[in-house]
Amino acid sequence: MYTGGVHGMSTVTSYNFDLIKGVELQLSDVAKTSTARGKIKKYAITDLKNRAARGEMIFPEYLDEITIDNERPFYFTGSGIAIKFFEYEVAPYAAGMPEVKVPNKIFR
């Protein structure tokens, strides 16, 4: 989508399904409690801060403001989930749409 300025804005939408039940899964179906989602947020913040410390293009001053809820795009990996962040949310446009891979043991 082009909204003016130097470049357009991208978005991502994820669709995750329980193929046995035939229902779409939300993040709250995977990380069932607010405590579990809080652990995902803490893990993501730590991972992104570590990336910033290594010189990656991350905005560490904005990380405490991220939300981990049913609006957050995610997908399943072999060992957990990957959560996506939008352009400018945690990094500059040039960094793309960062993601953090969160192992199951963090939120289960």
3-state secondary structure of 24: strand
**What is the rounded distance in angstroms from the CA atom of residue 101 to the CA atom of residue 106?**
11
How is domain 16-107 classified at the CATH fold level? Actin; Chain A, domain 4 (3.90.640)
Q: Where are the beta strands (DSSP E) in the chain?
A: 16-18, 23-25, 74-76, 80-84, 99-103
The parts of the chain modelled with pLDDT lower than 70 are 1-5
Q: What is the pLDDT of residue 51?
A: 97
3-state secondary structure of 71: coil
